[in-house]
């Protein structure tokens, strides 16, 4: 509604200001509440931008390249992930605990400032201008867009005029009826909205943002222990997504939206199934825990020993099961310590104040021989480390072919102008709702039903669609 009332351009500029202010507040945050306020402002900005930008592109682009330009929007989102990961990897070298994360947040203000300056020189969309009685300004914009091609200018003006006449007839029939009610009462718009929301829902149920948000966690689960290496691998995977989004640019008008979505869905189903299989192999290959070694180095008679927590960790049968729990980590002998028995391995409670060490045992902080042991609460050594990473690359490639851009293209161009703002807002709300659902439940579900079955459940939803 805000973009219908105030214009697409003004809403985007407002969202950009929220981006800048939110990034700066997060960068200088002196407490959790300050950081929360900054994150809320960034969330508002993302919500408005993801709703209005596809509409702005669709209404402002020449009809013959409209689908390509909305696809470029998805490419730029993917490219943004790549840049964000690269920046995070770079700043991770500068005291990540105190300074690095602040620089990561503050850097987000830079592209937002560039966008703000650019939008000050961009026009409003012709359709919005005509719909609000600014025909002269709309003609000037169309002359710029179509390079004074009178035939195309006349076509666009005629299309908008026909939509306005249909809108006038509907207004006479329905009066000043609430837009959403009109959408629900109009069969073809209601059907388009249902399909648009379904596309956005299944786009998120495919698990794409779970992979993008938790790429580092998934890579560590695959056996990569070094944090900097993990970030750079994440950057490479984001680059694959950006490159993969380029492929539909020429295919979207040639093959059509439906063909690309179906082809992409088939690939997504196959790769999600492969992802589940990869984590089965990793779990099978993971170092087994010898129950006879569980209590070595632990004073079970001490009153400070949390026996319930120890029983939880002692119940896991291998390293992969152990590190899947948020409360436990795996303590093993470092490879260079060849003078000690190489079969030693324990699942121990994590020290919440220093997660690099266990709460008890040989990997406890301050133990004389702690340097001879390695404690990890995220990754396990396995022969199949490369497998999930390769599958993620395949998954993102097939996802980018259709399920990435098409839901945005479809929602940007399928609705009549009177319903476009409301319907795009509803479909975007659906997207972010399921985005939130998937991202909030990934860690808890991967612990409760294991990573294997999380990816298999995503595979089931896509097969159903």
Structural domains of the chain in order of their starting residue, each with its CATH number: 1-122 (1.20.1250.20), 177-286+396-464 (1.20.1250.20), 291-376 (no CATH)
Amino acid 20: pLDDT: 94
Note the pTM of the prediction, 2 decimals: 0.69
Amino acid 260: pLDDT: 85
d(CA 306, CA 323): 19
Amino acid 17: pLDDT: 95
Residue ranges of the chain with pLDDT lower than 50? 338, 340
Amino acid 365: pLDDT: 75
* E runs forming strands in 294-442: 328-333, 345-349, 373-376
Amino acid 117: pLDDT: 94
> Could you tell me if 259 and 267 are in contact, meaning their C-beta atoms sit under 8 angstroms apart?
no
d(CA 26, CA 5): 31
Amino acid 458: pLDDT: 56
Beta bridge pairs of residue 331: 346, 375
d(CA 232, CA 228): 6
DSSP 287: P
Amino acid 262: pLDDT: 87
Handedness of CA 183, 434, 195, 161 (dihedral sign): positive
* E runs forming strands in 287-396: 328-333, 345-349, 373-376
Amino acid 448: pLDDT: 55
> Could you tell me if 49 and 12 are in contact, meaning their C-beta atoms sit under 8 angstroms apart?
yes
> Could you tell me if 362 and 343 are in contact, meaning their C-beta atoms sit under 8 angstroms apart?
no
Amino acid 191: pLDDT: 92
Report angle CA 188, 192, 193 to the nearest 5 degrees.
115
d(CA 407, CA 79): 18
Amino acid 24: pLDDT: 94
Query: Which of 19, 41, 55, 402 minimizes the C-alpha distance to 208?
Result: 402
Q: In 10 A of CB 165, how many CB atoms? A: 10
Query: Which of 345, 352, 353 minimizes the C-alpha distance to 375?
Result: 345
pLDDT of 367-390, one tens digit each? 655 567 888 888 888 888 888 889
């Amino acid at each position: 509604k805000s973009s219908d009332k105030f214009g697409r351009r003004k809403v985007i500029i407002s969202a950009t200001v929220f981006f800048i202010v939110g990034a700066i507040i997060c960068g200088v945050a002196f407490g959790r509440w300050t950081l929360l306020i900054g994150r809320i402002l960034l969330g508002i900005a993302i919500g408005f931008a993801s709703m209005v930008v596809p509409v702005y592109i669709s209404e402002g682009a020449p009809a013959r390249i409209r689908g390509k330009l909305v696809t470029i929007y998805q490419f730029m989102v993917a490219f943004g992930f790549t840049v964000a990961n690269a920046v995070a990897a770079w700043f991770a070298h500068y005291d990540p605990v105190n300074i690095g994360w602040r620089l990561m947040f503050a850097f987000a203000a830079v592209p937002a400032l560039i966008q703000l300056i650019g939008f000050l020189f961009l026009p409003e969309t012709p359709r919005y201008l005509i719909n609000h009685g600014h025909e002269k300004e709309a003609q000037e914009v169309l002359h710029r867009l179509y390079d004074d091609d009178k035939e195309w200018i006349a076509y666009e003006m005629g299309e908008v005029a026909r939509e306005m006449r249909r809108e006038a007839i509907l207004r006479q029939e329905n009066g000043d009826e609430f837009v959403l009610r009109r959408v629900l009462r109009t069969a073809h718009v209601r059907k388009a909205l249902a399909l648009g929301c379904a596309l956005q829902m299944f786009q998120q149920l495919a698990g794409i943002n779970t992979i993008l948000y938790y790429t580092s966690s998934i890579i560590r689960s695959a056996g990569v222990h070094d944090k900097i290496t993990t970030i750079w691998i994440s950057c490479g995977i984001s680059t694959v997504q950006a490159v993969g989004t380029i492929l539909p640019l020429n295919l979207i008008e040639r093959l059509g939206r439906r063909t690309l979505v179906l082809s992409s869905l088939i690939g997504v189903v196959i790769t999600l199934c492969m992802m589940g299989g990869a984590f089965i192999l990793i779990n099978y290959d993971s170092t087994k825990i010898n129950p006879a070694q569980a209590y070595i180095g632990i004073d079970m008679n001490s009153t400070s020993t949390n026996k319930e927590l120890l029983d939880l960790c002692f119940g896991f049968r291998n390293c992969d099961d152990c590190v899947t729990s948020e409360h436990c980590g795996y303590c093993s002998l470092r490879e260079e310590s060849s003078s000690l028995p190489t079969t030693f391995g324990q699942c121990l409670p994590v020290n919440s104040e220093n997660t690099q060490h266990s709460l008890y045992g040989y990997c406890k902080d301050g133990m004389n021989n702690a340097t001879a042991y390695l404690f990890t609460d995220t990754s396990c050594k396995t022969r199949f480390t490369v497998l999930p990473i390769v599958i993620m690359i395949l998954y993102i490639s097939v996802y980018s072919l259709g399920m990435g851009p098409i839901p945005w293209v479809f929602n940007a161009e399928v609705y009549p102008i009177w319903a476009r703002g409301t319907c795009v807002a509803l479909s975007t709300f659906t997207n972010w709702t399921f985005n939130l659902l998937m991202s909030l439940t990934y860690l808890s579900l991967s612990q409760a039903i294991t990573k294997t079955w999380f990816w298999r459940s995503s595979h089931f939803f896509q097969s159903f669609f």
